[in-house]
Amino acid sequence: MTIMETTTTPTVTLRNGVEMPIVGYGVYQVAKEDAARCVADAIEVGYRHIDTAQAYYNEQEVGEGIKASGIDRADLFVTTKVWIDRYGYEETLKSVDESLCRLGTGYIDLLLLHQPFSDVYGSWHALEKLYRDGVVRSIGVSNFYPDRLADLCAFNEIAPMVNQVETNPFHQQVAAHEHMVARGVVHEAWAPFGEGRNGMFVNETLTAIGAKYGKSVAQVIMRWLVQRGVVALAKSTHRERMIENLDVFDFSLTDADMATIAGMDDETSLFFDHRTPETVDFMVGLIKERAGRE
């Protein structure tokens, strides 16, 4: 993976040559009534990478925000994800067509399988077709642990280009990162702030590091991810926080800072472990919940 400095947000280069901004704006848990405004605000303050998903129920509003921004489509990198109740070859193709209609973006820059369950192979073959047909510019997965990622890389014509996993100072995914790098898969972080769990925003270690540079804890975390070569997705509904989370390219953490943060790793998810039966049961519950909303 190559990180290329630009006059705006640095980018990483995916295996197929597509450039992906290393900092993005995520809309998970952004309410439908706020999503269009938030996306337009994020684009206005400088974000060029927008991350949504079928399961976030705001693809249409994301598309409205993109349209309202007036930005040239070619200047944006848009990600969405296929939810597990739409897995299977034909169903995945149909669901992506629906996502494109909601987004109104003409094509998708990065399409991910959202979870490592159900008919992963049928859906992956659908993503390969969409990639070959030019409907999507790059394809990947989310929440795939090293064994599942290695499986997809080894036994498919097109290997995942990105793996989006929970990554934050308390769950750093060091071993998983090494496996991704070895397979040419770009590591992307969801929940970089852990939704504030474990006192993330008031952590004394992160606060002290930030004080040296006049930066917030959130900015320290974003910079830490960037220096690891990890694509970071930040979410906020507040314009001033959007600006803050993007303003991380005017300072660098020292090797000592990076080592200190490395010492915070508990190697434990702040949310759930995708390798447990309980997580599968949880996902089944989410599918039933989704069915009740549609």
- List the 11-13 sheet strands across, edge first: 2-4, 11-13, 19-21
What is the token pair recorded at 35? Answer: 């999503």
Is the CB of residue 52 less than 8 Å from the CB of residue 80? yes
Closest CA to 9 of 24, 31, 26: 24
Distance of alpha carbon 72 from alpha carbon 78, whole angstroms: 12
Q: Encoding tokens for residue 224?
A: 């830490």
User: Beta strand pairing status for 49-51 and 162-166?
Assistant: unpaired
**Binding-site residues from annotation:** 114
Of the residues 25, 47, 56, 87, which is catalytic? 56
* Terminal alpha carbon distance of the chain: 40
Q: Are 213 and 206 in contact (CB under 8 A)?
A: no
CA contacts within 13 A on the Cβ side of 266: 10
In the numeric block, which tokens belong to residue 51? Answer: 């991350």
Residue with tokens 């309202």: 68
Tell me if residue 56 is catalytic.
yes
CA angle 244, 198, 212 (to 5 degrees): 45
- Rounded Cα distance between 262 and 62, Å, is 35
CB 55 within 8 A of CB 83: yes
Task: Check: CB of residue 290 under 8 Å from CB of residue 56.
Answer: no
H/E run at residue 20: strand 19-21
CA torsion sign for 117, 123, 125, 127 is: negative
Annotated binding site for substrate: 114
What positions carry a catalytic annotation?
56
